[in-house]
Amino acid sequence: MISDRVRSLSPYKTETTPARIKLSSNELSLELPEFVKKRLAEEVSRIPFHRYPDPEARLLKEAIAQRFGLREENLLLGNGSDELIYYLSMAVGEFSRGIFYPVPTFSMYGISAQALGRERVEVRLKEDLSIDLQESLRAIREKRPALAYFAYPNNPTGNCFEEDKIKSIAEEVPFTVVDEAYYHYSGKSFVERALSRQDTVVLRTLSKIGMAGLRVGFMVGNEEVVRELNKLRLPFNITFPSQVMARLMLTEFYWLIEEHVKEVVRERERVYRELRRMEGIKVYPSEANFILFKSLLLPAEQLHIRLVEEGVLIRDFSHMVPQCLRVSIGKPWENDAFLEALEKVLKTLDK
């Protein structure tokens, strides 16, 4: 007896097509030097994994707090920020009231709402990918959602919405979540606002800075909000290896992550410039570690397939944004391979 709520869901989609170069999931291309791997292996080999891990993941929480200049009381850790999105959708407001988010955006806001039987109050972004404030406020006044999600920067579009528009909408809904999964690439944050009020929280994750496989996300919020949401948290939601490895990366080896993040920001600007001068491509500016672009000469699905044939996997988003694809920024050689493959495919069209 599976409910209609669940039957009507579509599973979270991700690209699993095998390819030589994978630029489809906004991961950080992080190649660990041997000595780092050895150090991680050492620590992991000491884990008494017949025991439950620390349910509060205290040492990891301490490392996150120190690394990002936060206090432990303001942190709630999740098995990826995906888990925290579920908790927020469960905890905020009654289920009879909906959840607002501009679209296209990250699919988990809608999936969590639908799974709980909550109305999805979706408002399309404008042609330039900015928030349609008038239409958003109209929808909110009509439907009275209890919660608003903003991905900041937004995925898959790559832009940060205007701060003033987010604040205007936040004034009209009881609770606001600012999902800063790509904070390290934008440098823009609502953390101060979240810490000073009870109606706003920020989500962050280690996934986009080289630790996607560890599944560690965190919420930053007022102590009171953290305490309440913590009651929903599944016990032991951060595995023992994840607690140990993430802590080590944030303390001893964070310099390595910082270097890679800087390189990605540099590469993002280079890839953007290269895409801009390609005929048949319209590219959108990005403050994240990926770029959205439109294919003007070839249907996006076909371009996607042609790139896979060239050994490069990116993400086709044409189901969400007409004719658009999203490419993650990788190491310089990976980005070169993408640009060359794209150029090659486009060239065959001229004739």
Q: Which of 155, 243, 295, 323 binds ligand PLP (CB under 6 A)?
A: 155
Contacting ligand PLP within 9-48 (CB under 6 A): 26
Q: How far is the CB of 278 from ligand PLP (least distance, A)?
A: 25
Contact stretch for ligand PLP (CB under 6 A) within 75-83, 240-248, 296-304, 317-325: 75-83
**Should residue 82 be labelled a site residue for ligand PLP when binding is judged by CB under 6 A?**
yes
Extended beta strands in the chain, E state: 21-22, 75-78, 99-103, 120-124, 147-151, 175-179, 200-205, 217-220, 281-283, 290-295, 312-313, 315-316, 324-328
CB 70 within 8 A of CB 220: yes
**Should residue 80 be labelled a site residue for ligand PLP when binding is judged by CB under 6 A?**
yes
| Minimum CB distance to ligand PLP smaller for 32 or for 212 | 212
Structural Rg of the chain based on CA atoms:
21
Contacting ligand PLP within 93-112 (CB under 6 A): 106
The contact pattern for ligand PLP, residues 163-182, with x = CB under 6 A and - = no contact, is ----------------x-x-
| Minimum CB distance to ligand PLP smaller for 153 or for 341 | 153
Contacting ligand PLP within 191-230 (CB under 6 A): 205, 207, 212, 217
- The crossing angle, in degrees rounded to 10, of helices 240-251 and 58-68 is 30
Separation CA 19–CA 37 (nearest Å): 25
Contact stretch for ligand PLP (CB under 6 A) within 35-43, 79-87, 185-193, 274-282: 79-87
Q: Which of 57, 151, 257, 345 binds ligand PLP (CB under 6 A)?
A: 151
| Minimum CB distance to ligand PLP smaller for 81 or for 335 | 81
Identify the burial level of 339 via C-beta atoms within 10 angstroms of its C-beta, where 0-12 means exposed, 13-18 middle and 19 or more buried: middle
Q: How far, in Å, are 88, 99, 145 from residue 7 at the CA level? A: 22, 20, 23
| Six token digits for residue 117 | 């039987």
Closest CA to 79 of 90, 87, 71: 87
Residues touching ligand PLP: how many (CB under 6 A)? Answer: 13
Applying CB under 6 A, which residues contact ligand PLP? Answer: 26, 80-82, 106, 151, 155, 179, 181, 205, 207, 212, 217
